[in-house]
Chain A
């Protein structure tokens, strides 16, 4: 089996099953097979889907830095699936809120989205995720051309809105949202640093002494290689 076949038929199904396991655990906990959801199961379900949505946004954002640092280009093949899992958990989080928490009471839903800032933020993040998930097939990506990349930079926005949504939702103890904010800052900071570094290198003639020539697995920055992240 060559590497591509191995990824497609062994690793992808394995990673898929792993990514799905938090959702399966919610179901088995609901039936008290693996644990329980406590006194407030609606809240527990909503919180667990929400936190896994945020975790998958972080995991998806980790793929490119990991690929660039380790040079393992096959990592990029998991990025779409991870991103779609972020969407899946956000969708489940949203549906739990819509159906179980609000009971489809449209007036309350509209009021929450328009007047509760943390819900507005979460809903905005979800809309961007819908747009990205809806354009994730190869065909659409081809047809959209460079607009596809522009749209999918939206993941940065989703990360910021998601952490913000979490931060404003907690009553007082912001230690957990702060942890996610720190992770997001590192993931976005890495990209900012790298793009500044690349820009500096393109303008290399102006400041040659500031940057020692890089060797090894650095991509050729003179060619505008597509960076889909």
Chain B
């Protein structure tokens, strides 16, 4: 009997049985990955649901900056997370009761492994790392944030994207009951973001699940969010429930809202101004009332690691 390789299918076509089988494979692969990563250690990333809980077994990273991190309070009360309101202090107030469990992530598109996976199964095989990164907002302010997360590349590898996977598109949860900001049409919900596969699998790119060694506060995108430190903050999509491997560049939320002001790449670039304000300098949050703005660095200071990704790209046109 000839056994043919099953055709590729969309996430929507997946039956619960394949989903189940995929999940089994995913977890088995994860166990192998965890074994390799942790050299025999039985457990990987454990993600408690309680927002106050400490995360265990966090390793450091050579990618961390030695700059002084902002206070936990500044990082968790000054946020752009329109799902919980457009004011900077809105998310810390409106996301307090946000339930982050149960939480699943739907993986779809050009990958050998697709389906809906529980957050814990996604995170567990990986070792938690602290990554102290600069974060530069498109609004010309910046912070230094001690994230705890897992490299996105390691997660992506387990789904085995095919050669057609040129981009990864992400989606935030859409649930106006739980995310009051979504009741207003200020953005076209759900929030969407995307990266090229090279950007997504770059070792600097992480999925953050924690802050200051604790579970990520809801205002910062709990339970899981993207952090791409050389890009403007809005690329760091929060509350991720969808990940899709696709062949063409995905539409992203801010680009959809104002295409002349926000591009797909959104690399931090002091030489290309926002049409309405300068990007040459930035205000470092927490520096004090009388501190001068500081010069913004090309690629937010991560050029050494990532500039090669954009060698053939006109950064002025692809802002």
Q: Is the interface of A mostly helix, strand, loop or mixed?
A: helix
* Interface: B187 (CB within 8 A): yes
* Interface: A227 (CB within 8 A): no
* Interface: A14 (CB within 8 A): no
Q: Are B257 and A112 within 8 A (Cβ)?
A: no
Given known pairs A40-B88, A171-B139, the reply for A118 and B276 (CB within 8 Å) is yes
- Report Cα–Cα, A103/B293, bound state, in Å: 8
Q: Is the interface of B mostly helix, strand, loop or mixed?
A: loop
Q: Are B89 and A38 within 8 A (Cβ)?
A: yes
- Report Cα–Cα, A118/B286, bound state, in Å: 27
Which residues from A are CB-within-8-Å of B277? 112, 116
Q: Are A38 and B88 within 8 A (Cβ)?
A: yes
- Of the candidates B86, B278, B292, the one whose C-beta lies within 8 Å of that of A112 is B278
- Report Cα–Cα, A173/B90, bound state, in Å: 14
What bracket does the count of chain A residues touching chain B fall in?
20 to 34
Which residues from B are CB-within-8-Å of A15? none
Which residues from A are CB-within-8-Å of B78? 38-40
| Residue in B closest to A171 when the chains form the complex, CB atoms | B139
- Report Cα–Cα, A168/B275, bound state, in Å: 11
- Bitwise interface map of B from 87 to 99 toward A, beta carbon under 8 Å scored 1, else 0: 0110000000000
* Interface: A13 (CB within 8 A): no
- Bitwise interface map of B from 198 to 209 toward A, beta carbon under 8 Å scored 1, else 0: 000000000000
- Of the candidates A30, A102, A175, the one whose C-beta lies within 8 Å of that of B289 is A30
- Bitwise interface map of A from 103 to 124 toward B, beta carbon under 8 Å scored 1, else 0: 1010010011000111000000
Q: List 20 A-B contacts (CB under 8 A).
A: A38-B78, A39-B70, A39-B74, A39-B88, A40-B88, A40-B141, A42-B283, A100-B289, A101-B283, A101-B293, A102-B293, A103-B292, A108-B278, A108-B281, A111-B278, A112-B278, A116-B278, A172-B186, A172-B258, A173-B86
